[in-house]
Amino acid sequence: MTSLCIHALALPRAHVTNLLASTAMATALLAAQTLPGVAQEQAQDTVSSDDVFLGTIVLSGTKRAETLDDFMGSVSVVTTEDLQTRNITDGVEAAQKTPGVNLYSYGDRTNAFVNIRGVGPILQPLSPDDSSVLTFVDGAALMLSQSGSAYLDVEQVEIFKGPQNTLFGRATSGGAINVVPNRPTDELEGSVRLEFGTDHEFLTEFIGNAPIVPGQLNARIALRRQGVDGYITNDEGPDFGEEDITAGRLSFEYTPSDATSVLLTYFAEEVDLVPSYYLPQLGDDDPQDGAQSFASDNQSSRIAALKIEHDFERFRFTSQTSFNKQDIENAYQGDHNLFSLIYGLPPSFFSAKETNRIAYEKEQTRVEQEFRLSSLPGDRISWVAGLSAYRDEFDIYNDSHNAVFQGAQSGIYTFDQTNEAVSVFADARIPLTDRLALSGGLRYTSETKEFDAEYDSTGFDAIYPGVVPSYSEKGKETYDFWTGKLALSYDWTPEVSTYVSVARGYKTGGFGVYSSLMAYGIPRDTYEPSETTSYEIGGRASLMGGALNLSGTIFYTDLNSEQIMLFDFANFQTRNANVDAFSRGIELEADWLVNDNWQLSAGVAYTQSEITGLPDDAATLNPGLEEGDELPNTPRLAVNLGVGYQATASELGWTSDWAPERVSARLGYNFQGERYFDAANEGKLEDTHLVSARLGFDWGNSELYVFGENLLDEDYFITRQPFGVAAGTNTPAYGVTEGRGRTIGIGYSMKF
């Protein structure tokens, strides 16, 4: 609370009114402590210290039964309760509320992706196979463009930081996010949840679980529909920011014996958004209204997975098969008001669809198969070894004509790429003494990429000098590489341990999806592989009988030939390239069950990043880019604070017939320090202070709650892209996207 007060006092005067406006709700969340009859004895329904003892958390992402205490690396675990009390429903919100994890978004979902500790695609991925940080569902990889997918009926979310190539493959050089869904059980049970809030926000959810053949076959279904109105004014079309999302998962688990299980899962998601691409901003003035006749970002995902496990006498065998298909339709106009600001022409000049449209149709399909052997729970040596293979096909159809981009965005482009890879891996944790343990792993991967691309001008060659009637190109590359990790841990006491580790990450090179040079008959630039070496010193402590849990990490990450798209706004041309960089910093997490009623949590990440090496022509291709620039969207400081309170109604002196069994409250604060959106460090994003809250009344099998996000109604940007200077001036012009303002809602959930 002290830190929160300090930040509140530092707010500009314009924020004070907003702070006072939200105080009533925040006070209500904490007011329960002042009610009479607060008992000092332990309440029957309050959380005990055993429930928060970190050693009981089993990490699914390590692909064998390994507890958090035994893992030699940095990982943040978000439990089911955390997801509910922090109002996290998808990957977007999870990234925003985890220090050291940053979501890079252009106001849509298709082009949103995650970086961890500054490691991730710089500006945007060069190709859909970029996998610096991928999301996995029970170990099966999602596409990069599915990073914001729904977290539906989830047991826990594991955020692994630093290179994770040994176990996750797919070049996870920055980290990996593993989502662990709830599995079917032999209980007949279910739940429903309803939420309504400002901006016509709504959420409806149903979860059902039932035994089909008692003791052998169980089924589970989870369905969700949610949406919200737009929040950014659009003078020419629907307001930006509108969302409509439908998601569902159906699972069957067959257990013919205690040693064998077969889990079949099918997940589907439909996402329809009105994206908010680049509102005009002149200098540091307030943004102007947007003006786009149409803007849509629609995604359809279908994922099927089959997981077979069998325990032999000395090891476990696992077969994991997954099929993932995603279709995307993305269409929008360059903003009329933004182009008017840059070129000095009236907005109506840019309103015609024939001369200002950008439209993409994308289809990506991935098939993966993994076989592995692993140790059994309780084995002294924890190990896993396996064979993995995948095939990924990506097709894009781009029919665009944007007159201000001249030939660079005019015509029909197609790009088809196929990736195939096979890898073998092994990882083990070996106790050397009662206190000292060694952990290490290696992965060998052979990957082949092949692409075909075509361009047709559809008459634009007669309009723009240098544009050719048509052009085609193709290419093929094969990459063979090793990745791995080595770590050493020491248990000072049963409750305190430290570790040191070094890990190597790798991303293959490639061809790049987008090429502005095809229209001029020029082959696209290939880009080189990227290597990541991460050094880490960390530790964990579980103190006060497990009531206080601490973890900390000091890290240094060396990025060699990291991949980047250079962009010249003067000529609207893109080039693929490689740069050298580093990131280093410290991360701290704490969770303290103060007593039976109060719980405090905190997370702090300090990250310093810098580009250290550039191609000779980088400054020409991307004006303003130079050595010493910070990696984009990587704040120096990020902080997450939480204050939780719970008590039984009897403790609070609430004895009426309709009194709930328990009252719970949480006040959360998320801070992101200033950072740059672009690699040249010209589009600065200022500090962001976001306050959230939740107050719940629990009757055992039902709960009524109120919640709020961005209670201070903070004005902040999630994008700020420089577009040169405004016409006839020397004032910088930017394209920006604003974050959503204050939202307050009410919800009800019931278990049966």
Q: Report, as an integer, the average pLDDT of 433-450.
A: 96
Q: What is the Rg, in whole angstroms, of the alpha carbon atoms belonging to the chain? A: 26
The pLDDT of 642-649, averaged and rounded, is 95
Q: Which residues contact 276 (CB under 8 A, 6 or more apart)?
A: 107, 108, 232, 240, 241, 290, 295, 737, 738
What pLDDT does residue 616 have?
Answer: 85
pLDDT category at 458 given cuts 50, 70, 90 is confident
Among 32-36, 419-423, 531-535, 685-689, the minimum mean pLDDT is found in 32-36
Q: Give the whole-angstrom CA distance, residue 688 versus residue 692.
A: 13
- What is the rounded CA–CA span in Å between residue 668 and residue 662? 20
pLDDT of residue 567: 79
- CA distances in angstroms from 511 to 89, 593, 724, listed in the order given: 35, 51, 28
- The average confidence (pLDDT) of the chain is 88
Proportion of the chain above pLDDT 70, given as a percent: 92
Closest by CA to 320, choosing from 366, 262, 236, is: 262
Query: Distance between CA atoms of 395 and 415, rounded to whole angstroms?
Result: 6
Work out the average pLDDT over 49-54.
Answer: 33
> Is pLDDT of 274 > 70?
yes
- The residue ranking higher by pLDDT, 93 or 160, is 160
The residue behind tokens 């490639």 is 510
Task: Write out pLDDT tens, residues 691-718.
Answer: 999 999 999 999 999 999 999 999 999 9
Q: What CA–CA distance (Å, rounded) separates 15 from 27?
A: 18
Beta bridge partners of 223: 206, 248
Say whether 143 sits in a helix, a strand or coil. coil
Tell me the pLDDT tens digit for each residue of 560-585. Answer: 999 988 877 666 677 888 999 999 99
Which stretch of 112-116, 129-133, 488-492, 651-655 has the lowest confidence by average pLDDT? 129-133
Amino acid 474: pLDDT: 95
How confident is the model at residue 569, as a pLDDT?
66
Output 18 or 171, whichever has higher pLDDT. 171
What three-state secondary structure class fits 465? coil
Rounded to whole angstroms, the Cα distance separating 222 from 151 reads 11
Asked if residue 308 lies in contact with residue 319, where contact means CB atoms within 8 angstroms, the answer is yes
Quick one: which H or E segment has residue 266?
A: strand 260-273
Q: Which of 491, 331, 318, 302 is nearest to 402 (CA)?
A: 331
Region 162-185 average pLDDT = 89
pLDDT tens by residue, 9-39: 233 333 333 433 333 333 333 333 333 333 3
CB 360 within 8 Å of CB 380: no
Residue 105: the pLDDT is: 82
Q: What is the mean pLDDT of residues 300-318?
A: 96
Q: Which of 191, 180, 160 is nearest to 82 (CA)?
A: 180
Q: Is 473 helix (H, G, I), strand (E, B) or coil?
A: strand
pLDDT tens-digit series, residues 415-430: 999 999 999 999 999 9
CA proximity to 66, closest of 308, 318, 427: 427
Nearest to 721, CA basis, from 688, 687, 686, 682: 682
Q: How many residues does the chain have?
A: 752
Instruction: Give the C-alpha distances (Å, rounded to integers) separating 466 from 403, 461, 474, 522, 534.
Output: 15, 7, 21, 11, 46
120-124, 235-239, 321-325, 373-377: range with lowest mean pLDDT: 120-124
Question: What is the reported pLDDT for 28?
Answer: 36
pLDDT value at position 394?
Answer: 95
Q: What's the mean pLDDT in 102-131?
A: 84
